[in-house]
Structure 1
Amino acid sequence: MTTESTFGDAPQVLRVATYNIHKGVQGIGPARRLEIHNLALAVETLDADIVCLQEVRAANRREAEYFTQWPDLPQAEFLAPEGYEAVYCTNAVTKHGEHGNALLSRWPIVTHRHEDMSDHRFEQRGLLHAEVLVAGRPLHVIVVHFGLIPASRQRQTEQLRRYIAREIPLDAPVVVAGDFNDWGTRVRRLLRVDSLHAFEGPRTLTYPSRLPVVQLDHIYARGLAPLSLGAPRGRVWSRMSDHLPLIAEFRLAEPL
């Protein structure tokens, strides 16, 4: 993929990343380790204009007591590079805290909202919808984290399609990014009906991060011209989360 990551005068390129950060902690039990500080450096390294995050903790009392270096800020704010805006919405409330989706943006965030997408009581899921003003032009960004059960993912895809039809004008550019937990192509086929397209060509494998065999993370877009798609590899990235980040670059379909 290309390395240019900022809007130039012409053409104008938008760089979008999606990353499931596994709540900032890797491992289980006494062997678990805090990765949130490394993740903050990683997010900055991505140099994306928009970063869509899943499994982001707003708070967790147990982990804050266990790790002496647990950040005082909620994870979304802690991960935001200098100059970025951050918004967060809770998907799941647990015994010790809560976690959900977040969006970090180099561009101003005009509005944001949340919609519950939970399909059953064992998996609390949701979408985060933000309107971002990119060099004066509205861009709608939706961050999702779909369920583990195939039937749930199909219903969540249909809910996503209804949401977009209801909340976003047909002529507005849209990016939908996140962890779709889809090992096949059903979600891709359903979203294509609404002109939300993924990158064509070979899959960019993102899971598991140590030895990726499947692409669970996707970036779909409407009204943007795709340029490149990729995922970083290596031991450093495999340690921070069970997913690799996915990075896409787009050219805006119309000049601003």
Structure 2
Amino acid sequence: MRPGGFRHSSFEAPPGAPAGDAGPARLKVATYNIHKGVRGVGPAKRLEIHNLGLGVEALDADLVFLQEVRHFHHREARQFDHTFFGWPDEGQAEFLAPTGYQVAYRTNAVTRHGEHGNALLSRFPLGDIGHHDVSDHRFEQRGLLHVPVRWQGQELHAVVAHLGLMHSSRVRQVQRLAEFIDAHVPAGARLIVAGDFNDWGERLDPAMRECGLQRAEDPAGRPRPATFPSRVPVFALDRVYTRGLSCTRLKVPRGSSWARMSDHLPLLAELALA
């Protein structure tokens, strides 16, 4: 058991696998909407970013796709500055990154007191960081974070996504995602698009397939793991889509520690070269 009550979330070898058989290259990825590191409202509002740091480390993922990450927020920094642990001096992406990880962050939304966006934490070297605005209307600022990652001697493209609250907006945002991939990701390059898709009605998979992306599914055919709301998860809003990779494991960590940190649970996937 790690500090804070988190169990290490590594994947075990499949039943019947030969001892010591490393098999094909595996990549562990996680996607997690961290709700800006804060939970609750009014006097009950609490800072969870320190617990989230323990949680991200416990996931033990090679790539961590994060949404609703703050770089700064002046009001909440003042509010929590004198709490026991205090508001971090650095941006939340850098604060959450385990030792040795590289960090990419770009802002999606600017508000009165601060901003928030998407981040990628990586065990592997990162290329040039790109950002593409896919906002569909002025009430929701949304973006794609695009980062090439050097893995297995080749370039793997990672895109962190956080789509809108209305289905029509999400459809248009997937169309813009397709245009972005065509323009910025080489044909045939391996690709992961992961994040919070807000797809309550499970209607986006056909549009994602038209982009050449397959949803990471449990290879044993088990139901898609729900990630929202974290206390009683019902909806599979958080997803991993891939091109040139196959899913060998899919998992959502559960328990009271995970339920309190964000309104979403993280989704973990183990991927192999297709």
TM interval, shorter chain, is over 0.9
Q: TM-score, normalised by structure 2?
A: 0.89
Deviation at 1:134, TM superposition (A): 0.8
User: Partner of 1:110: helix, strand, or coil?
Assistant: coil
User: Partner of 2:268: helix, strand, or coil?
Assistant: strand
User: Partner of 2:127: helix, strand, or coil?
Assistant: strand
The answer for the alignment partner of 2:72 in structure 1 is 59
Q: 1:176 aligns with which of 180, 193, 199?
A: 193
Q: TM-score, normalised by structure 1?
A: 0.95
Query: Whole-Å Cα distance in 2 between the matches of residues 112 and 9 of structure 1?
Result: 32
User: Partner of 2:129: helix, strand, or coil?
Assistant: strand
The answer for the alignment partner of 1:166 in structure 2 is 183
Contact 2:130/2:145, CA 8 A, preserved across alignment: yes
Query: Whole-Å Cα distance in 1 between the matches of residues 202 and 227 of structure 2?
Result: 15
Q: 2:264 aligns with which of 216, 222, 243?
A: 243
Contact 2:10/2:60, CA 8 A, preserved across alignment: no
The answer for the alignment partner of 2:231 in structure 1 is 210
Contact 1:107/1:133, CA 8 A, preserved across alignment: yes
Contact 1:196/1:222, CA 8 A, preserved across alignment: yes
One-letter code aligned to 1:223? G
The answer for the alignment partner of 2:149 in structure 1 is 132
Deviation at 1:225, TM superposition (A): 1.8
Deviation at 1:78, TM superposition (A): 0.2
The answer for the alignment partner of 1:22 in structure 2 is 35
After superposition, what is the alpha-carbon deviation per residue over 1:167-206, rounded to whole angstroms, capped at 9, x for unaligned?
1112100000000000123211101123211134421100
Q: 1:228 aligns with which of 243, 249, 258?
A: 249
Identical pairs, percent:
58
Query: Whole-Å Cα distance in 2 between the matches of residues 185 and 149 of structure 1?
Result: 13
Q: Does 1:72 align with 2:80?
A: no
Deviation at 1:26, TM superposition (A): 0.4
One-letter code aligned to 1:177? A
Contact 2:142/2:162, CA 8 A, preserved across alignment: yes
Query: Whole-Å Cα distance in 1 between the matches of residues 251 and 134 of structure 2?
Result: 28
Contact 1:52/1:177, CA 8 A, preserved across alignment: yes
Q: Does 1:102 align with 2:119?
A: yes
User: 5+ unaligned residues in a row in structure 1: which ranges?
Assistant: none
Contact 1:2/1:228, CA 8 A, preserved across alignment: no
User: Partner of 1:161: helix, strand, or coil?
Assistant: helix
One-letter code aligned to 1:36? I
One-letter code aligned to 2:51? N
The answer for the alignment partner of 1:193 in structure 2 is 210
Query: Whole-Å Cα distance in 2 between the matches of residues 186 and 163 of structure 1?
Result: 21
Aligned pairs for 1:72-91 (under 5 A) are 72-91=89-108
Contact 2:70/2:92, CA 8 A, preserved across alignment: yes
Summarize the Cα distance change of 1:242–1:151 in structure 2 as closer, same or farther, 3 Å threshold.
Answer: same
Bigger shift: residues 222-231 or 191-200: 191-200
One-letter code aligned to 2:24? P
Query: Whole-Å Cα distance in 2 between the matches of residues 40 and 239 of structure 1?
Result: 13
Q: Does 1:3 align with 2:11?
A: yes
The answer for the alignment partner of 2:161 in structure 1 is 144
Deviation at 1:9, TM superposition (A): 5.5
Contact 1:107/1:135, CA 8 A, preserved across alignment: no
Deviation at 1:4, TM superposition (A): 4.7
Contact 2:52/2:96, CA 8 A, preserved across alignment: yes
Question: Quick check: which has more Rg, 1 or 2?
Answer: 2
Contact 2:10/2:59, CA 8 A, preserved across alignment: no
After superposition, what is the alpha-carbon deviation per residue over 1:207-247, rounded to whole angstroms, capped at 9, x for unaligned?
00000011110000000121011100111000000000000
Contact 2:143/2:161, CA 8 A, preserved across alignment: yes
